[in-house]
Structures are given as C-alpha cells and as structure tokens.
Structure 1
Amino acid sequence: MLLSEKGFYLTVFLLGLFAAISVQKNVRDIAAHRDVYPDLHRRPERNEPPAPPQWTV
C-alpha cells in the first residue's frame, strides 16, 4: 500500500472518529439542556396554537 493511500485512510478514519465524538457530545449536551429547561423542549398539543415569540427585534 502506498504511503499516500495510508494517509488517505488515516485521514478518513480520524474524520469519522471526530464525527462520532461530535454527535455523542451534542446528544449529551441537548439532553442536559432538556433537564435544565424542560419547558423549552415541550411538544405542543395537537390543536394548541403556536407559542408567541420569546423576544422582539
């Protein structure tokens, strides 16, 4: 196997590892945010009107 081929496969492996770790950390952070702010992650009922915006511009 050529050296450039090994470098390519190493780069692909490291990028895949980075992506997997990033997804795990984002899932963990979102779960922690839901624990702290449960009302922000509440799903509206079927016939409930949309909530007004939280801020004005």
Structure 2
Amino acid sequence: MVIDIKLDINQLDDIVRIWLKETLKTVEGNFTYHYVHPDDVKEYRKDIKALKRILDYIGEGE
C-alpha cells in the first residue's frame, strides 16, 4: 500500500516536536505509574533527561 502525503517542510518541525513531547509523556508515565525493573531504572532516567534536554534545546521545554 502506498500513501501519498504532501508535507510542507515547516510541518516536519512541528511533527518532531509533538513526537518528542508524546514520547516524553509516555516514558515518564511508564516510569512513574508502571512497574520498572530495577535494572532499567537508570536507563529510564537517562531517557527522560535526554528528551527534556532536546526539548529545551529546541525551545519547547517545560
């Protein structure tokens, strides 16, 4: 199946910002409200920190 989508290059920035924000919400939610194996805690914290730094860098941080 081929889907033809016309995207303006400016829309790509918005798509990436939205994706990063949603990914951060998901990772934080998994870390906070779901069981995380003790071996994975360090990785989750690193992922959360990295996502926040990227969002801060592009001016979308909290």
Normalising by structure 2, report the TM-score: 0.45
Q: Relative contact order (alpha carbons < 8 A, sep ≥ 6): 1 or 2 greater?
A: 2
More helix by share: 2
Q: Could you say which structure has the larger radius of gyration?
A: 1
